[in-house]
């Protein structure tokens, strides 16, 4: 076992795993599974910077706050953008899962995107400690996702995992318990939402907020023409007369805008494949590409990638839970998986 992580031997049952994502934060506990799943959103008092709400309640306030309050997403593109607010958010999340039975300062395994800088890794360790953890250990997201998927990560067998989250799409090749290639690409769920805001503004002369755009994406968003047409009625503010207005959006009208973003992701996957060692390439041809993260659920994305790259593509069973499920397995079988932990000094 890596000597750096010896201190973690004998995991206590109240140690926590955290998937700190741009869109969602999930927390698991060794013997209890996932105990928190909340949007990574905070509403603060604009003057005092005190927390007003966190998680799901804060997310509902996006675009609706009075001047005295501000809604913030403290992570951008998978990394901490606002250190102080991230710390406060985590502290509130710890409080939510804290029970009298728990130690007040748990040890924590927390994920970071593969290939982030040492500074960004240290920031995650420090923020986790400042928020109340006794010790913090890092795992790279795609490695956690692979373990969550049930892959044998220590095999000399290459797997490609494409984790499409809110802020970033992480395209990774893993083999022999490590990340061989990683690319973090800033086209993911949030960009799909922005494209919908823009489309609705241009084609329907209607202004909508980001939560409405996300609702449209999840209800009817598609990147290829579907056999079945979906539609949703939404409200916004008319650009023409400034008044509230309802419109109906269908899946087929979004294909062009969202399909263009899917093509950008496909080109990034292609460029990683082109740089992948031949032996690993043939493994990927055999194993296919696994899609994880909430963005994997955009309709037709798997099919579009499959057709463009002529490779099998499958969506993880629980795309939003792959990473936290992997961390949970690590907590449960630490001896087996501790080798995959990385220190803040690990660089590519
Ligand atoms: N059914 C769905 N259809 C389309 N998109 C979805 C669906 N469910 C969730 N999403 C999108 O998935 C994204 C969140 O995914 P996820 O929780 O994996 O991201 P994250 O881990 O917080 O972000 P990151 O990994 O970039 O830090 C959001 O953009 C959300 O809108
Ligand atoms: Mg994620």
Q: Which ligand is nearest to the CA of 221?
A: 1
Closest atom of ligand 1 to 320 CA is: 18
> The tokens 């494409």 sit on which residue?
162
Task: Tell me if 247 sits within 8 A of 233, measured CB to CB.
Answer: yes
Closest atom of ligand 1 to 78 CA is: 27
Query: Lowest mean pLDDT: which of 6-10, 64-68, 225-229?
Result: 6-10
Q: What is the mean pLDDT of residues 145-153?
A: 94
Question: For residue 345, what pLDDT band results from cuts at 50, 70 and 90?
Answer: low
- Give the residues across from 342 on adjacent strands: 138
Examine the pLDDT at 3 and tell me if it is beyond 90: no
Look at the domain 3-39+80-145+322-340 and name its fold. Answer: Nucleotidyltransferase; domain 5 (3.30.420)
Task: Tell me if 182 sits within 8 A of 159, measured CB to CB.
Answer: no
**Whose alpha carbon is nearest atom 10 of ligand 1?**
294
The pLDDT score that the predictor gives to residue 337 is 93
What spacing in Å lies between the alpha carbon of 322 and ligand 1's midpoint? Answer: 12
Secondary structure of residue 103 in the 3-state scheme: coil
What spacing in Å lies between the alpha carbon of 21 and ligand 2's midpoint? Answer: 5
Fold agreement (3-39+80-145+322-340, 156-187+268-315):
yes
Contacts of 138 (CB under 8 A, 6+ apart): 109, 110, 111, 112, 121, 124, 125, 341, 342, 343, 344
How many other C-beta atoms lie within 10 A of the C-beta of residue 47?
10
Contacts of 262 (CB under 8 A, 6+ apart): 223, 298, 300, 301, 304, 305
- Give the homologous superfamily in CATH for domain 156-187+268-315: ATPase, nucleotide binding domain (3.30.420.40)
Examine the pLDDT at 100 and tell me if it is beyond 70: no
DSSP string, 263-286: HHHHHHHHHHHHTS-HHHHHHHHH
Contacts of 32 (CB under 8 A, 6+ apart): none
| Rounded-to-integer distance, Cα 338 and Cα 33, Å | 19
Question: For residue 102, what pLDDT band results from cuts at 50, 70 and 90?
Answer: low
Question: For residue 55, what pLDDT band results from cuts at 50, 70 and 90?
Answer: very high
Domain segments of the chain as ranges: 3-39+80-145+322-340, 156-187+268-315, 189-257
What spacing in Å lies between the alpha carbon of 210 and ligand 1's midpoint? Answer: 13
Task: Tell me if 35 sits within 8 A of 12, measured CB to CB.
Answer: no
Pocket test of ligand 1: the residue of 56, 172, 295 to mutate, having most ligand atoms within 8 Å of its CB, is 295
Question: For residue 14, what pLDDT band results from cuts at 50, 70 and 90?
Answer: confident
| Rounded-to-integer distance, Cα 243 and Cα 247, Å | 13
| 194 φ, ψ (degrees, to nearest 5) | -60, -40
pTM, full prediction: 0.93
Cα dihedral 200, 238, 212, 47 sign: positive
| Rounded-to-integer distance, Cα 107 and Cα 111, Å | 13
**Is residue 197 within a helix (H) or strand (E), and if so which, with residue range?**
helix 189-204
What residues does ligand 1 touch, defined as CB less than 6 Å away? 21-24, 78, 165-168, 188-190, 214, 217-218, 221, 293-295, 297-298, 320
What spacing in Å lies between the alpha carbon of 6 and ligand 1's midpoint? Answer: 34
How far CA 66 is from CA of 71, 77, 87, 237, 244, in Å, comes to: 10, 27, 24, 18, 19
The pLDDT score that the predictor gives to residue 6 is 46
Where does 189-257 sit in CATH, by number? 3.90.640.10
Q: For 290-328, what is each residue's pLDDT tens digit? A: 999 999 999 999 999 999 999 999 999 999 999 999 999
Examine the pLDDT at 13 and tell me if it is beyond 90: no
Closest atom of ligand 1 to 40 CA is: 22
The pLDDT score that the predictor gives to residue 343 is 80
**Is residue 312 within a helix (H) or strand (E), and if so which, with residue range?**
none
Pocket test of ligand 1: the residue of 293, 298, 319, 322 to mutate, having most ligand atoms within 8 Å of its CB, is 293
Q: Which ligand is nearest to the CA of 294?
A: 1
Question: For residue 196, what pLDDT band results from cuts at 50, 70 and 90?
Answer: very high
What spacing in Å lies between the alpha carbon of 24 and ligand 2's midpoint? Answer: 8
Task: Tell me if 15 sits within 8 A of 97, measured CB to CB.
Answer: no
The pLDDT score that the predictor gives to residue 31 is 85
**Whose alpha carbon is nearest atom 25 of ligand 1?**
165
What spacing in Å lies between the alpha carbon of 216 and ligand 1's midpoint? Answer: 14
Q: For Cα atoms 278, 281, 284, give the angle at the middle one, nearest 5 degrees.
A: 160
* pLDDT higher at 172 or 7: 172
Burial class (CB in 10 A: 0-12, 13-18, 19+), 342: buried
What spacing in Å lies between the alpha carbon of 175 and ligand 2's midpoint? Answer: 20
First to last CA, the chain: 21
What spacing in Å lies between the alpha carbon of 237 and ligand 2's midpoint? Answer: 32
Closest atom of ligand 1 to 75 CA is: 27
How many other C-beta atoms lie within 10 A of the C-beta of residue 100?
5
């Amino acid at each position: 076992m890596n000597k750096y992580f010896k201190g973690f031997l004998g995991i206590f049952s109240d140690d926590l795993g955290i998937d700190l994502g741009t869109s969602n934060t999930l927390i698991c506990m060794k013997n209890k599974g996932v105990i928190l799943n909340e949007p990574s959103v905070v509403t603060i008092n604009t003057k005092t910077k005190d927390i007003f709400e966190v998680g799901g309640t804060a997310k509902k306030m996006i675009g609706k706050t009075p001047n005295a309050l501000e809604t913030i997403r403290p992570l951008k593109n998978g990394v901490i953008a606002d250190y102080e607010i991230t710390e406060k958010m985590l502290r509130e999340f710890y409080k939510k899962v804290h029970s009298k039975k728990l130690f007040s300062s748990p040890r924590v395994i927390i994920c970071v995107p593969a290939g982030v800088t040492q500074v960004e890794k240290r920031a995650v360790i420090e923020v986790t400690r400042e928020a109340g953890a006794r010790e913090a250990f890092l795992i790279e997201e795609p490695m956690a996702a692979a373990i969550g998927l049930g892959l044998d990560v220590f095999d000399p067998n290459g797997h490609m995992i494409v984790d499409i989250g809110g802020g970033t799409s992480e395209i990774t090749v893993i083999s022999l318990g490590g990340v061989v290639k990683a690319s973090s690409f800033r086209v993911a769920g949030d960009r799909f939402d922005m494209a919908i805001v823009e489309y609705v503004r241009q084609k329907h002369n209607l202004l909508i907020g980001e939560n409405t755009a996300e609702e449209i994406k999840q209800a009817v968003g598609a990147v290829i023409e579907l056999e079945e047409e979906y539609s949703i009625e939404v409200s916004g503010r008319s650009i023409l007369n400034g008044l509230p207005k309802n419109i109906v959006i269908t899946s087929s009208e979004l294909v062009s805008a969202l399909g263009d973003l899917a093509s950008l992701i496909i080109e990034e996957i292609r460029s990683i494949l082109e740089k992948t060692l031949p032996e690993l390439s043939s493994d990927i041809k055999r194993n296919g590409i696994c899609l994880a993260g909430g963005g994997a659920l955009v309709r037709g994305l798997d099919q579009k990638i499959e057709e463009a790259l002529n490779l099998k593509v499958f969506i993880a069973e629980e795309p939003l839970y792959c990473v936290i499920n992997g961390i949970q397995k690590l907590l449960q079988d630490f001896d087996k998986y501790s080798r995959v932990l990385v220190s803040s000094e690990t660089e590519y």
